[in-house]
Structure 1
Amino acid sequence: MYNLSKRIMDFILSLIVIVVVSPVMIVIALFIKFDSKGPIIFKQKRPGLRKEIFTIYKFRTMKTDTPNLSTEKLGDPSRYVTKLGLFLRKSSLDELPQLFNILFGEMSIVGPRPALYNQEDLISLRDENGINNLKPGLTGYAQVKGRDNITDIEKVRYEEYYKRNMSMWLDIKIIWWTFKSVLKSEGVRVN
């Protein structure tokens, strides 16, 4: 019953938010086009539910010549971030296009953040703990507990806690904590 109600909630909430924020998304798209050359939407293949590959969508925040690595492996990522990209990342507005991933059922609002395909250590740890059997989320328990400021082992521990305690109530609390941390820009890696 939880999985069905979670999917219904994901579909309805993502649709409502897409309609409400579509003017903001259009403005962001225009600013991205004026800020730097390249596509508006950044598309990347990521392992999803049961490691099936899907395309995740984000507003592009980095220059087109940026290596396809996780932020922590870029050395000084600030040299790749566009002027507008810094604001989009800090405010998490770059994640808005993932509402379409949620609408199409590839992601959920709450779940483990989808790993990059080359984060083998994280994917392996998730395999060992059954985390790859969960649908990836726009936000998750590990995000509200430290986001990019915690190790892969800590992320998987938090994701394992979420897996054992999944409920609508926990999802609502994670959404609330996410909203609060976005307002404070906590745990966001921008430089």
Structure 2
Amino acid sequence: MIRILDILSSFFGLLLLCPLLVIVTIIGLFDTGSPIFIQTRVGRHKKPFSLVKFRTMSKDTASVASHLASNASITKFGGFLRKTKIDELPQLINVLKGEMSLVGPRPNLFNQEELIAERDALGVYNFLPGITGLAQVQNIDMSTPKLLAETDKQMIESLTIKDYFKYIIKTATGSGSGDAVKPK
């Protein structure tokens, strides 16, 4: 049932948001010269996939988790995209392709070894990663690997259709600040 909701939501979301996606892409060209950000992330069963987002940091920023990046790397437009969560919208493509769900554990980088170990021990990688979830709306980011993995597991074990929509609505209305970035 959740996969059907993912397909319908991502398809219609991309269709309805197409004008916004085009506008953000054009502004992003002027902001960074490369508005689309593609990064290899850990997917279901620890298989790699290419996550698609709008670029919020300068092109020369190191490929590290957000909480390890410098706040100075975020562009002004990127700050707006992060605050409004518009930077996440291209991930609807990942959802449509079956690489992600709208709701699930946020996909991490392969160099986040501590988080991978914690999630692996709890079986979190048996499920599709998501754009949002319990950890995101509770402001738990990847800087606390054990707590994040435990929260992901809790969400996976208790996820209902009602929770699915609750996490999406909370994210869309501003709950959760996303991954924290180091202040500079």
Judge same fold: TM > 0.5, yes or no: yes
Query: Which residue of 2 is the match for residue 24 of structure 1?
Result: 20
Structure 2 distance, partners of 1:22, 1:14, is: 12
Q: State which of 38, 52, 55 in structure 1 corresponds to 2:50.
A: 55
Give structure 1 stretches of 5+ with no counterpart. none
The CA deviation at 1:174 is 1.5
- Identical positions, percent: 38
Length-normalised TM-score, structure 1: 0.89
RMSD: 1.7
Structure 1 distance, partners of 2:36, 2:143, is: 27
- TM alignment of 1:1-191, pairs within 5 A: 5-37=1-33, 39-74=34-69, 77-148=70-141, 151-182=144-175, 186=177, 189=180, 191=183
The CA deviation at 1:72 is 1.8
The CA deviation at 1:177 is 2.1
Amino acid at match of 2:180: R
Aligned residues: 182
Give structure 2 stretches of 5+ with no counterpart. none
Structure 1 distance, partners of 2:115, 2:142, is: 14
Length-normalised TM-score, structure 2: 0.92
